Structure 1
Amino acid sequence: MLELENNSVEQHDTTEEHQAQTLKTLSSLVCGQEYSSQAELRTVYHAITGEAIYQVSSHGISTKAIVDYAKKQGAAIATWTFHQRANALKQVAQYLLERKEHYYELAKATGCTRKDVWIDVEGGIGTLFAYSSLVRRELSDETALVEDAWIPLSKHGNFGAKHILTSKAGVALHIDAFNFPIWGMLEKIAPTLLAGVPCIVKPATEGAELTHAVVKDILASGFLPAGSLQLICGQIYDLIEHLNPQDTVTFTGSAATGQSLRANPHLNQYSIPFCMEADSVNSAILTEHANDETIDLFVREVFREMTTKAGQKCTAIRRAFVPAALLETVQTRLVAKLQKVVVGDPEIEGVTMGALASVKQKFSVAEKVEQLSEDAKIVLGGHLRQDFEIQAKNPEKGAFYPPTLLVCEQPTEAKHIHEVEAFGPVSTLMPYQNLAELADLVARGEGSLVASVVRNVDENIEALITKIAPWHGRVHILDAESAKESTGHGSPLPYLVHGGPGRAGGGEELGGLRAVKHYMQRTALQGSPNAMTQVGHSWTAGAQVFEDRVHPFKKDFDELRVGERLLTARRTVTEADIVNFACLSGDHFYAHMDKIAAADSLFGDRVAHGYFIVSAAAGLFVDAAAGPVIANYGMDNLRFVEPVKIGDTIQVELTCKQKTPKPQRDPEQKPHGVVVWDIKVKNQRNELVATYDILTLVERAA
C-alpha cells in the first residue's frame, strides 16, 4: 500500500521505539467519532530535541465508511447557500483565532521560529477570512451559481442557454504536505466547503499534531454540518478505490509521489479530477541592467526564501539567475547575509532559523545537496558545517541544517540544478549571458509555481515576462516601488493562482473563485427564458414579467417578486438637454456639441451624452417619495447600444432581476437586502439604446 510520506531515511533507535509505546496516538476524526489503532504505529520525533512526541496509525480503519459518511451526512452542506457557507467559515476562523496560542505551542516541536509559525497559523486562518469575504461579496445567496448572462440561440429569443455551477455530489480528498500543516489544510478546505462539498483531510505524519488540533477545534465549534470535515491520521489505504466520478482528489508534496497517485488506475478509469501542487525549482531573476539598489533587493529576497521556514516552502527560490558580470557581487553580498544567520533552537534568544521538520528530512536535504554539488560548487553551508555553530542543547539530535549556497558557473551544461530540489535552506546561484539563454535556463525547470523578476523601476521586462510566463503559475515583479508593500516571492494569496504547469503539477489550489468552481460541476442549461429564470432565481430577458399599480420602489424587499416590471413614461431628448448636461458635467465632447464635426462622425449628427441617458432613465423610473429603497450603491454591465439624437424619445423598462438578503451586522440596523434591477432604455422605434443593472439596498420586513 502506498505510504503518502517522504521516502527518505527513517530514524531507527530501539530505545526511542520502546519509549514510543507509551506515547499519545493521534486519532483519526471520522464518522462522527475518534478512531485510533495500536497496530502499524509510526512515531514522530521532536525536530529540536529528537525526542519521540506522538505516533499515528489508521490500521483497520474503514475507508468505505468514511466516504459514505461524508456523502450521506456531510452532503448537508450542499443544501446551504453560498452566504451560509461563507458565514460559517468566518465563524470558524474567529473560533480558531481565539485558540491560536495553543497551535503556536504545538508548533515548537516542528522546529519553527514564531515568525515561521505565524505564516502557518495566522496565514491559514486569514485564508478562511479572505475566502469568506470574497464569496459574500461576489456570489449571490443561492445554492447554485449562474455563471454567465443569457446566451440567445434562436431568432426570436425563445430558446437560449446559461452555464450553471452546482455542488458535486461527492467528496474532496485532500492529501497535504508536512511543511504547512495548518495553512496547507485550511487553504484547501476553504474553497471546497464554500463549493458545498465535504472534505476528507489526510495530513503528512510530520506536523499532523497541528492539523489534528485545528480539525478537532473546527469540529468542536459546531459551525459546520456533521460529516463535512473528516481527518485521517496515518495511511489512507484503499480509500481512493471507493471514490467515484463526483469526487475530487488534491495532493501537495513531492512530484514523484504525486505522479504515483495520479497514475492510479481507479482515478483514470472514472475520470476523477486530480489536482496536484508539487515542489518545483522556482527561480529568482536579476535583470541585465540591475543597479546597486536592485541587487540588494534581489539578495534580500533570495535570503528570505532560503531562511524562512528553514527553506521548507514549495515556493522557495531554488535557482537564482544573475547577469554574468554581477555573479561575484551577488555572491559576496548573499554570503555575507547568510553568515549572520543563527541556526538552532528558536527558544534560545538570538536564534533566527530553526530546524527542518525531521531528521529524515535533514538526511534527504543532505543527499540532494550532494547531487547538486555534481553541477555546482558549495560556497557556504552543506558539508562545510564549521561555518555555522548550532545553538541547541543537543544539536546532534535535532534536524538542523545550515543555509547552503551553491554556485554553478556553467548552468547550460548542468542537469541536477534544474531538476533536483533540496527541500531546505538551499539555493544555487548561476550566471546568464543574455535574454535567450536566460529564458532557456528558466524553462529547464519544466514548470514552476513562481518566479521573481527583480528589476530597476524604469526597466522594460515585457520580453522576459512573455518568455517565462508560460512556465509559471505566478510571476512576482519586484522593484524599488513595489518592494514598499510587496508580500514577497513566497507568499501565495487566496485571490491568486497557487499552482503551476508541468513539474509543478498543473493545479490551482488557490485562485479566488476559480478554486471554488473547481469543486463544482459546470453544466450548460438550454431552454426558454422562463426555464432559466426558474432554475437560476434570476430574471432572464424574455421571461414572464409582472406589472402592478404600485410602484416597485414603494415595495419592501419581501414584497418584490423576481420579474416584477415597471414600464415608465416617455421623454423626448432636446438640444437644451444636451447643452445643459454638457455645462453641468463639463463634458463638451465634439459628438455632443459640435454640429459640423458630429456630421462628419460615424453618428452623422449630434448625439446625447451616454451618461445623460442613464441620468434621464433614472429620472423616469425612480419614485421620489421616501420609501423602503435605502440607496443605490452600484451599476453593472453598462452598454450604450445605439446613439440617441435630438428629437428621439426614450422609455425605460425596469425589471426586478434578483434578490439577495443581507445579514444584519448591527442589531440597530434595519433589516435589508440587495435587489438587482434590469434596466433597458429604448427609443421610439423600440430599439435598445442602453442596458445595465443597478443594485439597490431595500428594507426588509422587521
Structure 2
Amino acid sequence: MQQLTSYISGVWAYGQGKERAIHHAVSGEALYQVCSDGLPLAESLDYARQHGGKALAVMTFQQRAQMMKAVAKHLLAHKESLYQISAETGATRGDGWVDIEGGIATLFAYAGLAGRELPDDTLWPEDELIPLSKQSQFAARHVITSRPGVALHINAFNFPCWGMLEKLAPTWLAGMPAIIKPATASAQLTQAMVKLIIESGLVPEGALQLICGGVGDIFEHLDYQDAVTFTGSAQTGQKLRSHPRLLQKSIAFTMEADSLNCCILGEDVTPEMPEFAIFIKEVVREMTTKAGQKCTAIRRVIVPAAQMDAVQQALLKRLGGVTVGDPAHPDVRMGALVNLEQRDDVQQKVDYLLRNGCEPLCGGSLSALQLTGNGAENGAFYPPTLLYCADPFTHQAVHGTEAFGPVATLMPYQNAEQAVELALLGQGSLAGSLVTADEQIAAKIIRATACAHGRMLILDRHAAVESTGHGSPLP
C-alpha cells in the first residue's frame, strides 16, 4: 500500500503511529495508508501565518483573483489524472465531473467576481463616506481587509475536490492561508489536487497545506485571528464547535452538517404536465448522483396525496432502470458508496426509518442489490432505495434521520399549508425545491419556507431548460 503523505511547512511528510487504510470503493482493495501522528501540526500554523499569510496579505484583490484563475486553468489542464483517482472512490464519470470540474468552475467563478467587483488594493471600502457631523468634516467609512490568521478547513468525504476549492476561493480572496484536512475516506483525491497546485508554483509557499490523517492537537494552538470550517456529521461538528480553545479565543467556526432537504410537487401538477416529468427526473437524479452522497441531495419527497400513486409508479419505473456497479462499465449509471463503513451506516439509518413509520417501495437492503459488471462483489454498493411514510406528521424520524446514500422518502400532503409544515420539519435545510406551473403556489410556498432553506429552487417547464438542478454545487 502507498503512504498518503501530508504537505506541512513546505515538506511532504508521513506520520509515525497508528495507520488507517483507504480501500477502493469498487473492488475493496486496500490502496493507501494514512497517518499524521507526530507531524509538526502546531508549527504548520506559524508557517502559514509567517509565509503564506504575509505573501497573500500584500497581494491586491485583483492579484489574488488572477492567481486563482491561473490555478483553475492549471487544474483543468490536468483533470484526467484526477478522474482516474476519483474512480477509486466509487464515482462515475458524471459524479467526478460534479466534484472535479464543478470545483474548478467555482475557482473561476470567484476569480471572475473579484475581477469585476473588487478593487486593485488590499482594502475593500464597503460603502461611501457616512457623515457624522454637520459640516461633514467628521465622517466614517467601513473597510474590509485581511486577518493575519489561518483558515483550517475540515472537509467531508463526498466532495474531495469541490469541497476544498469552494472554501479555498473565498479564503485566498480574503488574503488568508489555508490548511486543508480532508476526510480520510477520499483523501487521495484531495491530495492529488493539492499536489497539482503546489507543483504549479502559482500559489505562495505556505498559502496551502494539507493534513492527511487526524488533526492532532492543532486546535490547542489556534488563535483569535484564525477561522475553522467543518463539513460533515452534526455530531462531530458539535463536538468540535465546543472545543475549549475555540470558546476561549472566540475563534470563528462555521459548520455545514446533516440536511434533510426536500422537493415539493405543487398541487397544480398532474401526470400529463411537463412539470410532472421534471419532478420525477429531478428526484431520481438527486437520489443516484454520487450514489446519493451529496449534502444537497433530496431526502424528503413531498407530494399531493391525490398524486401519490402516480408519483410512486413513475419513480419506481425510473429507478428500476438505474444500473448499479463498477463505474468503468459503460452501462453503469450509479457507482458505489465511498467505503463499507459508509454502506453499513446507510443500512443502519434505513433500518431505523423502517422501524419508525416508513415502509420500503424499492431497495432497503443489500438483498435487493443487482450489480452490473464483474469484480464488484466486494464493493461498497447500495441499491437505490425509495421509502414511503404515510403519516409524516406523526413519525418525526423521517425529518431528523439522514441516510447518506441513494435513499429518499415519499410523504403525502393534503394542502399547501401541510406542504409548508412538512418542509419546515426538516429544521433547516441546505436546499429545497418546488416544482409547479402556478405562480401563486410558488409565491405562497417560497414565502413560507425560505426562512428554513439556504437555497430554494423553483422549477417549471421554462426554467428547467437551463436549470442546473436541485442539488447542483453552485459557487
Matches within 5 A, 1:127-138: 127-138=106-117
- The answer as to whether partners of 1:83 and 1:142 remain within 8 angstroms in 2 is yes
- The answer as to whether partners of 1:411 and 1:430 remain within 8 angstroms in 2 is yes
1:207 to 186, 198, 202: 186
2:205 to 218, 223, 226: 226
Partners in 2 of 1:432 and 1:265 — Cα distance? 45
Partners in 1 of 2:403 and 2:439 — Cα distance? 35
- The answer as to whether partners of 2:68 and 2:111 remain within 8 angstroms in 1 is yes
Partners in 2 of 1:395 and 1:34 — Cα distance? 33
Give the corresponding residue for 1:451: 432
Tell me whether 1:117 sits opposite 2:93 in the alignment. no
- The answer as to whether partners of 1:286 and 1:454 remain within 8 angstroms in 2 is yes
Give the corresponding residue for 2:367: 385
How many Å apart are 1:38 and its aligned residue?
4.2
2:237 to 237, 253, 258: 258
How many Å apart are 1:457 and its aligned residue?
5.0
Q: Which amino acid aligns with 2:471?
A: G
- The answer as to whether partners of 1:315 and 1:450 remain within 8 angstroms in 2 is yes
- The answer as to whether partners of 1:457 and 1:480 remain within 8 angstroms in 2 is no
Q: Which amino acid aligns with 1:196?
A: G
How many Å apart are 1:446 and its aligned residue?
0.7
- The answer as to whether partners of 1:97 and 1:122 remain within 8 angstroms in 2 is yes
Matches within 5 A, 1:320-339: 320-339=301-320
Partners in 1 of 2:217 and 2:458 — Cα distance? 44
Matches within 5 A, 1:92-171: 92-171=71-150
Partners in 2 of 1:224 and 1:383 — Cα distance? 47
Partners in 1 of 2:284 and 2:396 — Cα distance? 24
Change in CA separation of 1:458 and 1:469 when aligned onto 2, cut-off 3 Å: closer
Query: Could you say what the CA RMSD is over the residues aligned between the two structures, in angstroms?
Result: 1.1
Partners in 2 of 1:460 and 1:306 — Cα distance? 25
Tell me whether 1:246 sits opposite 2:228 in the alignment. no
Partners in 1 of 2:353 and 2:214 — Cα distance? 32
Name the count of aligned residue pairs: 471
- The answer as to whether partners of 2:8 and 2:41 remain within 8 angstroms in 1 is no
- The answer as to whether partners of 1:174 and 1:250 remain within 8 angstroms in 2 is yes
Change in CA separation of 1:384 and 1:89 when aligned onto 2, cut-off 3 Å: closer
Matches within 5 A, 1:388-403: 388-403=369-384
- The answer as to whether partners of 2:262 and 2:431 remain within 8 angstroms in 1 is yes
Q: Which amino acid aligns with 2:4?
A: L
Give the corresponding residue for 2:247: 268
Partners in 2 of 1:451 and 1:129 — Cα distance? 26
Partners in 1 of 2:474 and 2:90 — Cα distance? 24
Partners in 2 of 1:156 and 1:340 — Cα distance? 74
Task: Give the gaps of 5 or more residues in structure 1.
Answer: 1-22, 495-702
- The answer as to whether partners of 2:293 and 2:404 remain within 8 angstroms in 1 is yes
Q: Which amino acid aligns with 2:163?
A: G
Report the secondary structure of 2:237's partner residue.
helix
How many Å apart are 1:456 and its aligned residue?
1.2
Change in CA separation of 1:458 and 1:414 when aligned onto 2, cut-off 3 Å: same
Task: Give the gaps of 5 or more residues in structure 2.
Answer: none
Give the corresponding residue for 1:46: 24
Change in CA separation of 1:384 and 1:401 when aligned onto 2, cut-off 3 Å: closer
Partners in 1 of 2:261 and 2:436 — Cα distance? 17
Partners in 1 of 2:141 and 2:300 — Cα distance? 46
Q: Which amino acid aligns with 1:415?
A: Q
How many Å apart are 1:441 and its aligned residue?
1.5
Q: Which amino acid aligns with 2:404?
A: F
How many Å apart are 1:459 and its aligned residue?
4.7
1:287 to 233, 243, 266: 266
Tell me whether 1:376 sits opposite 2:354 in the alignment. no
How many Å apart are 1:362 and its aligned residue?
0.5
Partners in 2 of 1:363 and 1:145 — Cα distance? 49
Partners in 2 of 1:392 and 1:52 — Cα distance? 21
Report the secondary structure of 1:489's partner residue.
coil
Give the corresponding residue for 1:604: none
Give the corresponding residue for 1:609: none
How many Å apart are 1:135 and its aligned residue?
0.1
Q: Which amino acid aligns with 2:378?
A: K
Rg larger for:
1
Partners in 1 of 2:249 and 2:425 — Cα distance? 33
Give the corresponding residue for 2:69: 90
Tell me whether 1:236 sits opposite 2:215 in the alignment. yes
C-alpha distance after superposition, 1:277-317 (max 9, x if no partner): 11200000001111332221111110000010000000000
Partners in 1 of 2:376 and 2:327 — Cα distance? 12
- The answer as to whether partners of 2:168 and 2:178 remain within 8 angstroms in 1 is yes
Partners in 2 of 1:55 and 1:189 — Cα distance? 26
- The answer as to whether partners of 1:291 and 1:456 remain within 8 angstroms in 2 is no
- The answer as to whether partners of 2:301 and 2:409 remain within 8 angstroms in 1 is yes
Give the corresponding residue for 1:364: 345
Tell me whether 1:28 sits opposite 2:6 in the alignment. yes
Give the corresponding residue for 2:153: 174
C-alpha distance after superposition, 1:10-36 (max 9, x if no partner): xxxxxxxxxxxxx11111101011110
Give the corresponding residue for 2:298: 317
- The answer as to whether partners of 1:290 and 1:455 remain within 8 angstroms in 2 is yes
Relative contact order, CA 8 A, sep 6+: which one is greater? Answer: 2
Q: Which amino acid aligns with 1:40?
A: K
Tell me whether 1:67 sits opposite 2:45 in the alignment. yes
Q: Which amino acid aligns with 1:435?
A: A
How many Å apart are 1:384 and its aligned residue?
6.9
Q: Report % sequence identity.
A: 52
